[in-house]
Structure 1
């Protein structure tokens, strides 16, 4: 989140910098756990109060090798005094790290070496004067280097841990296999849950808000997701590194019943033909191949053949897309539709429509 009025607050006098902008003065890069630290907190409080930001949201929290406060998760709402204690911990390097934001109003980001960045919708002249009076230096900037950058995330859509996600897990567990759910309520920290069909709802109910989830099979990532809020809206901004199942899901959410799609036949089985729809296979069952009776899908189709199909059903839990060739023959088993089907069959069999060999 960027706002129009952004300042970097430091204890480093700008006059004590070399031609490259590096600080050369006497201040060290650690918190003094005393009056200078208190000055930072007073300055941040002044900017927050002039911005009218009484409550702040924790965003993208990270574990920093020390115990983090209870309830420290993405989206947690904290009053200004509690936010200042989080900032104190970040200045000391003795707690988790996070962005603190009030939407469209105010933010505070704590960087390395006692650099603090505040942004506001207001100019905050009183807070600027207060910061200077505290012996700190407020420097105007165009942007905070710690602003959330969506471009830094892995490409692709963000998968929500919604009912479809849990239906998918239930379906996978029905077929056995060793599945583990890795829950990351904050970055750089996780806990693991052994998944069973009977215990799936219990695990789901105990997860931290907005946690990042990775499902492992035999220790390898299978699918990932992020927990939405209680109203079903996905507001967490982070995105796990996509796993193999996520790529298929990204295609699946673009497919809808009654659509017409073009794909390539990838496999032929006695019960039907599989068609690659751009990263996800759909299935044309043998009754949906032709209005004419055929004994085997290979009588009409061959691997590598491009086909135009109609989507007749989508089952997200099983990642199954049911397709039809014959439903594109609008006149059914009579007329031009039947003739077109026969022509396709004849072409696949290497014969002419009149029945003679090519």
Structure 2
């Protein structure tokens, strides 16, 4: 006999529109969690910002006149409870307030500002049915810890901020508040990371997109095991390399070809730099790269051919600006856009000869540079 699998709940089926079914209906349009296919991600729904700062939804700030009161921007939060689906809470139209307990006279403490869900129907120990922004007061100590252990097991909540309350304090300033908000979004949307998010948090599904936030945020894609960079706003993602001769000398001989390769590679706008050392570079990620070169010489009588990008796999020899007998090559620069495979090693050369009695040198101030900037992915 066939065995069937009844739905957990079906929205709008006759006599089936319970609060639980409604929560599951809402969850179908919210970012998924990582527990299982029906899980929903807790967090703040991002929708309000001012300038190039982290979104303001449910952000905790000091009162206008600093005191033990705190203000919270309006916004929406998704709070799940195990087995009960997501609860969607909204605070609208105005800045809300909470008040901290008086400071301890001897030691500091750390308080939490959280969004907590109460539901008497699904949790008989709840004394009410509502959502609330509330303060969890910590214990004063020489080395205080945030009071997460004071929150009962099974309670649905998200953290908005940790607030350090110094001994004898009568006011709370922005320096006492640590933003712990984590972002969530609609299913299939780009999830903007908030200060409480970690860049290393895994994604929920293959193809999920996140934005690291801020004016120079990175757009990233979850490839199933890690986040793959896609684009960056404001600050280019590139590598910078000083040019030296392959033997380390800065002097160019009077004739022949001088082999110049990547040297002292350092990352800019990214933490990749420590991966690349020595001469030559092996890129960790495949994609479309912008190769930009600038070669400055300290002796104007020297003549140089163009800067070349050379590789054997795949085979190419690209000219980057300049040309034969370009006097001085003083400010010559150029750009090539190339597809580069992961792990491919690149070499850069300059063919040079000297038409003066004095041997030419590369600019000793390290202004002869190559830039390798990732500008996109290619499937």
TM-score normalised to structure 1 length: 0.24
Question: Which structure features the higher share of helix residues?
Answer: 1
